[in-house]
Structure 1
Amino acid sequence: MTSKIPNSVIGAVSSVLAEYYYSHSTLNSLFMESGAPGCVPEGNCETKCSSWLRRCNDDSTVDPMQVLGQVIQKFMDLEPGDWNQKIGPGQERIRASLAKNQLTYQMNGFITLAGASPATKSLADFFKAGDFSSIEAEFERAISQVDRDPHAAITAASAIIEALCKTYIETHGLEMPSKQTIGPLWKIVQLHLGLNVDPTLQDDQKRILQGLASIVDGVGAYRTHIGSAHGRGIEPPKIVPSEARLAVHASHTIVIL
């Protein structure tokens, strides 16, 4: 994969991010946290984004594609909705620009070559193939984000549970819910799990399943309120790393069962 960000991608990303964030301080923080090199460029928001991305191409000490992925991650992982009409069209514009350059965006800030490269496999592909080492790697990546970006860690944890539920539903030939978010998906899976035939153990197992349901509900609610995939304004509610770490480890418990 090319290590340089194509000019057409720089143009699309700069325009979309400038229109969505429209804040110099927010863009400054976004680029610096993403590893963009050097001091803050001069100019308006769009010019600033463009200059910083071009600088990444010219700096041999950084991986331009990695920086780009981190810069667009929060915006690309948002779920479009009525609350902000700019998200959906903006995401499509960036995806189209990447596609013209044989590139694709994956959740959590990964940009890869479009096509059948193993790197482009989704979480669902890993589950279907029984590739649990890759699933563990996804959790490790989520944990690695806890201190730097707890919101993204929450989003990743929720996405892994969703992928597990979708794979379970497809594997067992169950009816996929119309709303494919973590709550409805888990309800289908939980109903299919069944209970032990012994009446005494049924009650015990029911308590365990209720506990698992509470974890799923909690992680899903976290993602809605503070995760990077759901928009709650430019400045989401604060979360400390320990809270994100709890959510990721709880999600891991769900998945490895």
Structure 2
Amino acid sequence: MRQEIPAAVLALTAELSSERETHATLDSLFTYAGAPGDPPEGSKHAKALAWLRRANKESTEPLRVLGRVLEGYMDEVLDPSNRWDKERIEKRQKIVKALAEADLQYVKGGKITSAMGTPTRTLSEFIRERDLESIDQEFQRAVKNATASPREAVSAASNILESVCKVIISDENLPAPAKQDLQSVWGVVRKHLGMDPSKVEDQDLQQILSGLLSVAHGIGSLRTHASSAHGAGKTPYRLEPRHARLAIHSAHTLCLFVLESWSKRGNG
């Protein structure tokens, strides 16, 4: 199904590309992206806007053009501690947000896809590649659902963390638990990565790690008792958007810590 570049994304992309390119490199970039026609006249910003609008009108796959234009900006490795890179990260996040509002997402490699119903296989690929931005987008989608459907959002947050654990178990050939719920797979991964607070000498870190372990159990339990993954029962939880966001952000923190710990062991 043909889909045009959303207006907000079009404007942000034109702004970003005109800031980062010269006239010559802008022409090369849009030609590489398959934007139709010759370079439009005008300033760099006017040129980028006109070319993207032309892609919407004339290209058979406007989103394919968009993905290729964004590829270099979205896939480049940036350092958040660097002031210039921090500004680039902020602009990149604006594009991610604008795409999400149109139910779209950027996928590493210059692809724009639907953000609805992303298959588990794709999430598994993100995890194996340590593609933290794509995993972050999965959590952002959960945050987006928090207001309208907090139960769905809690379920999504738990599923992402559960998927991380299952990928590690699979890739490391760890013994799979009899039950495949979050509590069980988390127990295997926690043991494998050596996440034992009693073995941490620094008391402050020990407290934080203990809290993270409680987070995993809490998210799993909340999903069981209050999310859309199970029946509400006789006394349903009064789950509010703020509760859902707490679960999502907690799962996000734990997920990234687990992936960084896995990477530190030299796996993959």
Task: State the TM-score, normalizing by the size of structure 1.
Answer: 0.50
Larger-gyration structure (1/2): 2
Task: State the TM-score, normalizing by the size of structure 2.
Answer: 0.48
Higher relative contact order (CA 8 A, sep 6+): 1
